Every structure is written in structure tokens, then in C-alpha cells.
Amino acid sequence: MIETENNIYIMEYKLGTAEQALAQIKEMKYYEKFLISDKNIKLIGIGFDVEQKNIGDYKIEALQR
């Protein structure tokens, strides 16, 4: 989690896809304790590619309240 003046970024890193990482953020409701804030909440899923040993993909979503 990174918090700036206007935003809160919640990140999940996953061996697999960015979509799987985002799904975990939503399933586990990591964002829930930040809902009382007036700041924008961004969910960031980052997938690592095992073969390339690097970031394979990433996806950013704004949390809709």
C-alpha cells in the first residue's frame, strides 16, 4: 500500500497474471479499511512471468464506491 496526498494505491504481486492479483485484492477486500478516506483508491495487480523472471503484466483499476 502506498498513500499520497490524493490517492491510496493497493498493490498485489502474484506469480501468474495481473488479473489473478486483482482478483485477490477484491476477494480479500484489502481496500476495505481505506473506504473511510476521501482519497481515490487504485487497485494494482502485478503478475510475474516465471519463465522471463520479470513482470509479465500489470493492471490498474480505480475502486468504484
CB 35 within 8 A of CB 17: no
Q: Indicate the pTM of the whole model.
A: 0.91
Give the integer Cα–Cα distance in Å for 48 and 65. 29
**Amino acid identity for residue 42 in this structure:** K
Averaged pLDDT, 37-52? 96
Cα-to-chain-centroid distance, residue 12: 5
Integer Cα distance of 14 and 2 in angstroms: 18
Q: How many domains does the chain have?
A: 1
Q: Around Cβ 20, how many Cβ atoms within 10 Å?
A: 13
Predicted confidence (pLDDT) at residue 55 exceeds the cutoff of 90:
yes
* Residue 30 structural domain: 1-41
The average pLDDT across 38-65 equals: 95
In a domain, 9, yes or no: yes
Residue 5 is assigned to a structural domain of this protein: yes
